[in-house]
Amino acid sequence: MEKEDTLGFEMMIPKISILFDDIEHKILSPLSCLREFDNHWKLEFDLPSVNKKDVKITFDENTISVEAKLKKKYSEEKLGKITKFEYFKKSILLPGKIDTKKTSAKFQKGRVEIKIPKKITGKNIKIN
């Protein structure tokens, strides 16, 4: 079982980013959570009503973005106006550099789980 990098309760709550839906472009902001482990981060996105084939994950040096098309439009009344959302979209800035070659993702029960190994850089310090 993987060991989470926790220091009592304070570290148990993951980094949560604020939800901003884009009404103009019919984009919902999915819930996400980022948790830090000894040698990797685990980033999850909640993508209900989405098929695996319609999920697109992209990343650069320290940002991961997820886009997904909903199986059917989701209607919600906002500010007295009914909006029909068609997509999920969100980008998450990671606190460190990503080892892009070893990053992997899986999709299950409408959730994307991305395992991101930390890029280990640095030099040994010689003990005299």
Partner 1 sequence: MKQVGEIEVPDMPSTLFVEGGEILAPIRVYNKKNIFVIISDVPFNQYLAEKFAHVVHEFCKKNAIKKIIIVSGMESINQQKESPKIYGLATHSVLDNVLYNNKIAKFLDGSIFGTDAAIISVFRKTKIPALVLYAECHAFFPDPEASIVALVTISKILNIKIDTSDIRNKMDKLRIQHRNLMDETLRTLQQEKQARVPQIYR
Instruction: Examine residue 31 and tell whether it contacts partner 1 (CB under 8 A).
Output: yes
Q: Which is nearer to partner 1, 48 or 117 (CB)?
A: 48
Q: Does 89 bind partner 1 (CB under 8 A)?
A: no
For residue 48, the minimal CB distance to partner 1 (Å) is 4
Separation CA 79–CA 65 (nearest Å): 28
Cβ neighbours for 92, distance < 8 A, ≥ 6 positions apart: 17, 32, 34, 43, 63, 64, 65
Which of helix, strand or coil describes residue 21?
coil
Report 34-63 residues binding partner 1 (CB under 8 A): 44, 46, 48-49
The amino acid that residue 16 corresponds to is I
Minimum CB separation of residue 125 from partner 1 in Å reads 28
Q: How far is CA 62 from CA 3, 30, 32, 58, 93, in A?
A: 23, 19, 16, 11, 6
Residue 74 Cβ vs partner 1, minimum distance, rounded to whole Å? 5
Residues at the site binding partner 1, with contacts judged by CB under 8 A = 1, 7-10, 12-14, 16, 18-19, 28-31, 33, 44, 46, 48-49, 71, 74, 76, 108-111
